[in-house]
Structure 1
Amino acid sequence: MDTKENNHHTVPVYIHACAMNSALGNGLQESAERLALGFSPDMCLQSGWLSDGVSLVGKVKSQLPEIDPALEYKNTRNNRLALSALLQIEPQIAQAIKQYGADRIAVIVGTSTSGIADGETALSVKQQTGQFPDDYHYQQQELGDLGEFVSDYFQLSGPVYTISTACSSSGRVFLSAKRLLKAGIVDAVLVGGADSLCKLTINGFNGLEALSDQLCAPFSENRKGINIGEAAAFMLLSLQKNDTGLALLGAGDSSDAHHISAPQPEGKGAIAAMQKALNDAHLQAAQIGYINAHGTATKLNDLMEAKAIYALFGDTVPVSSTKPLTGHALGTASMLEACICFLLLEQKLDLPVQINDGCYDPALPPLSFVQGKQKLQKNAILSNSFAFGGNNISLIFGGADE
């Protein structure tokens, strides 16, 4: 079956706006420029996160907007980071409110850190002074705070919830959004994620011996582990056709529950998620033009993912990981990389080069890593996110009218 024939059987979820702020850049344009360069200066060594030594992190360097005093209990760095991206698409959100009504727009977001960084600061103040700061409230670090903030800021009254499934959090929002839209419960969904740097996650990964003090090198024989990054990324979705035809074509998930922190070695859950995404999009593996790999640069994840991709796609589809440009944005990784896929499709950029030291691990299957200037040959991109606990998500983006 060809793409036109396939799309007759599926209803795409159209992307009406896209926004992002990460170490890759603030906004679509800066992010596209750095993506084309294959370099992000905001991937940098910093001290202060670990009790000893430095950590290479993906740090958002842009000035973040202030939050209105009326929402003072939601004034966290994580929410300010989210707002920095949301303001990029405020006109489109306002138009959706005017068109559909505030009660017909849902907010579904993913996060794994919420306002933990502010909680760490507040706890430090309490240790020193005996009291929490006046502007601190425990709800700031509740996982649901991000969704509530977004909904409150735009005065939306549709469904609102926050998903937290580790690194797949903001990928799963697409599944939930798709269900709400196709059930007719809402007319538009604001999906996204925001995660900010905090000591809890950086020290946690360091405790797992999964943290690298050098730029991460996915699929390299010499890979040492991940770089943590912070990011906010959002999309506005609806079933109404847009001007570009760009849409979420398919989504697949699985939960292999193999281990709390290690992936199923043969990639069974990853294969299931990718195959479900292909089935949902009514596409064959041969119709995918590029795979944005989860590519964390950890030994077990890279091996599992390479096996899974090879099992379904062989060595015929271009593959790369963009985490050396952004860091691993935890619960926001899926949405951040969805926005990268959107950029590739919308601006017809060269595919992201596979960044590492050039020493590809010979233990991995021979994937077709992007190594030079290469254009997207087929207008469909698959993006993977594989999380702790075996919670897997695969998303397919592309032109719905091709």
Structure 2
Amino acid sequence: MNSATSFPVFIHDCGFHSALGCEPASIHQALQTGQSKGMLIDDGILNTHTSTVIGRVTEALPEIPQALSQHSTRNNQLALSALLQIKTSVEDAVLQYGSNRIAVIVGTSTSGIADGEVAYAQKIDQGVFPENYHYSKQELGDSANFVADLFNITGPCYTISTACSSSGRVFISAKRMLQAGIVDAVIVGGVDTICRLTLNGFNGLEALSNQLCQPFSAERSGINIGESAAFMLLSTKPSDIALLGAGDSSDAHHISAPHPEGNGAEQAMRAALDDACLTPDHIGYINAHGTATPLNDSMESKAIYRVFGDKVPVSSTKPLTGHTLGAASATEAAIAWHILRHQLPLPIQRCTNKAEDIEVALVENEQYLGSKAILSNSFAFGGNNISLIFGYTHG
């Protein structure tokens, strides 16, 4: 990205629903106490009949309107729960700019696969699919199409699926679209829901933990999968909080393992700083990718240390939400927005035995953001790396 022509993209609203809950009070309480009601033991989802911890949305989800029944999946119900939180802001933007001047860009990796799993189970058992099932419901593009149909948006509309960086890349695409003057506002976000395909795939990679994940700990043993939806309304109209910069890289080191030295991660973070015209001193907190796998946490620590040293507080919020896959970037962007908007203390890393290979300064006691900006990392299979910087537009 070219910092010479860069400018902030302003955030006007945020809707969020994850294992943390969906109400600001429950989200803030979980972030401050380090206790998330949605992190639950599940002993029935894995084909190996072993247990794992998942980040489950426990609140009832809204029903898909009958007029949009072609989009009726649990994934879209979770998306709807977050989208209803920003409904007024989106409707105001439609009135101001026109529906054709608003874009929809969504990141996902599961879409409606969970509903497809149920439908195929019935097909195997009874010989026919459920009457209301159609394969289009589990297509990746359905996530963005649902958002556009919900708000009658007629501008550009598409889904990005780059594994666990999917909903980070939507911010980069939105920024470029706004910068080019193609649209005046963009609805961005990510949504993924728990499904057997994903859980058993990660279990096959021996990447799952059977207990609450422990990022940066000597005892870290793998990830917890979670589900989440987070959506924001972006435009160039000034607001107090903005996407200040974004950086990406694709190191293509390995199909699933990160580069052991974190070269691509470092490149993404430096690109984000350059895009924002900021120095490392401007960053007051880093929300790490922090999956609690041995390889990820080691390489990310090395990369962060090379850019920031041990002066910027770091933590991973995945013990509170689970790793929400294609929704991870948007999930952690929403957490950054809540910290900035409500001036919350930084999420504490409850790491009782910090590993020797972790050089960064973890958030271990109550502290608040000391600078104007938060950097959030998301790293995906194939070395698809995203770093986003959110912060105040003043100070």
Q: Which TM bucket (shorter chain)?
A: over 0.9
Equivalent of 1:65 in 52, 62, 67: 62
Matches within 5 A, 1:62-101: 62-101=59-98
Kindly indicate whether residue 285 of structure 2 is the aligned counterpart of residue 287 of structure 1: no
Distance in 2 (alpha carbons) for counterparts of 1:373 and 1:72: 46
Kindly indicate whether residue 307 of structure 2 is the aligned counterpart of residue 339 of structure 1: no
Equivalent of 2:42 in 43, 46, 69: 46
Matches within 5 A, 1:372-387: 372-387=365-380
Kindly indicate whether residue 222 of structure 2 is the aligned counterpart of residue 229 of structure 1: no
Distance in 2 (alpha carbons) for counterparts of 1:359 and 1:205: 25
* Structure-1 residue corresponding to 2:323: 328
Q: TM-score under structure 2 normalisation?
A: 0.98
Shift of 1:287: 1.3
Distance in 2 (alpha carbons) for counterparts of 1:248 and 1:336: 14
* Structure-2 residue corresponding to 1:200: 197
Shift of 1:41: 1.5
**Contact residue 18 and residue 236 of structure 1 kept, 8 A:** yes
Shift of 1:54: 1.9
Deviations 1:140-188 (A, max 9, x none): 1111110000001111100000000000000000010001111111000
Deviations 1:296-327 (A, max 9, x none): 00011111100000010110000000000000
Instruction: Give, as a single letter, the amino acid of the residue that structure 2 aligns with 1:393.
Output: I
Q: Can you give the 5+ residue segments of structure 2 that lack an aligned partner in the other structure? A: none
Distance in 2 (alpha carbons) for counterparts of 1:17 and 1:289: 22
Distance in 2 (alpha carbons) for counterparts of 1:272 and 1:161: 27
Compute the RMSD of aligned alpha carbons. Answer: 1.1
* Compared CA separation, residues 29 and 97, structure 1 to 2 (3 A): farther
**Contact residue 105 and residue 158 of structure 1 kept, 8 A:** yes
* Structure-2 residue corresponding to 1:140: 137
* Structure-1 residue corresponding to 2:305: 310
Q: Can you give the 5+ residue segments of structure 1 that lack an aligned partner in the other structure? A: 1-6
Classify the secondary structure of the residue corresponding to 2:109.
coil
Classify the secondary structure of the residue corresponding to 1:88.
helix
**Contact residue 210 and residue 226 of structure 1 kept, 8 A:** yes
Deviations 1:197-228 (A, max 9, x none): 00001001100000001000001111110000
Classify the secondary structure of the residue corresponding to 1:120.
helix
* Compared CA separation, residues 19 and 27, structure 1 to 2 (3 A): farther
Classify the secondary structure of the residue corresponding to 1:132.
coil
Kindly indicate whether residue 257 of structure 2 is the aligned counterpart of residue 262 of structure 1: yes
Classify the secondary structure of the residue corresponding to 1:309.
helix
Instruction: Give, as a single letter, the amino acid of the residue that structure 2 aligns with 1:92.
Output: S
Classify the secondary structure of the residue corresponding to 2:229.
strand
Kindly indicate whether residue 350 of structure 2 is the aligned counterpart of residue 363 of structure 1: no
Distance in 2 (alpha carbons) for counterparts of 1:17 and 1:103: 20
Instruction: Give, as a single letter, the amino acid of the residue that structure 1 aligns with 2:227.
Output: E
Identity of aligned residues (%): 60
Classify the secondary structure of the residue corresponding to 1:15.
strand
Kindly indicate whether residue 161 of structure 2 is the aligned counterpart of residue 168 of structure 1: no
Equivalent of 2:381 in 381, 388, 394: 388
Shift of 1:38: 1.4
Deviations 1:323-366 (A, max 9, x none): 0000000000000000100111111111100123x1111123x2
Shift of 1:10: 4.3
**Contact residue 27 and residue 88 of structure 1 kept, 8 A:** no
Instruction: Give, as a single letter, the amino acid of the residue that structure 1 aligns with 2:54.
Output: V
42-51 vs 115-124, which deviates more? 42-51
Kindly indicate whether residue 275 of structure 2 is the aligned counterpart of residue 275 of structure 1: no
* Structure-2 residue corresponding to 1:3: none
Shift of 1:372: 0.6
Classify the secondary structure of the residue corresponding to 2:379.
strand
**Contact residue 321 and residue 355 of structure 1 kept, 8 A:** no
Shift of 1:9: 7.3
Distance in 1 (alpha carbons) for counterparts of 2:12 and 2:273: 23
Instruction: Give, as a single letter, the amino acid of the residue that structure 1 aligns with 2:46.
Output: L
Distance in 2 (alpha carbons) for counterparts of 1:224 and 1:355: 15
Classify the secondary structure of the residue corresponding to 2:53.
strand
Distance in 2 (alpha carbons) for counterparts of 1:39 and 1:134: 41
Kindly indicate whether residue 25 of structure 2 is the aligned counterpart of residue 29 of structure 1: yes
Equivalent of 1:129 in 118, 126, 129: 126
Distance in 2 (alpha carbons) for counterparts of 1:123 and 1:9: 50
Shift of 1:256: 0.2
Shift of 1:46: 1.5
**Contact residue 295 and residue 302 of structure 1 kept, 8 A:** yes
Distance in 2 (alpha carbons) for counterparts of 1:313 and 1:390: 21
Distance in 1 (alpha carbons) for counterparts of 2:366 and 2:217: 20
Shift of 1:30: 2.0
203-212 vs 51-60, which deviates more? 51-60
Distance in 2 (alpha carbons) for counterparts of 1:111 and 1:28: 24
Equivalenced residues, count: 392
Instruction: Give, as a single letter, the amino acid of the residue that structure 2 aligns with 1:387.
Output: A
51-60 vs 75-84, which deviates more? 51-60
Distance in 1 (alpha carbons) for counterparts of 2:90 and 2:291: 33
Shift of 1:55: 1.8
Classify the secondary structure of the residue corresponding to 2:164.
coil
Kindly indicate whether residue 393 of structure 2 is the aligned counterpart of residue 400 of structure 1: yes
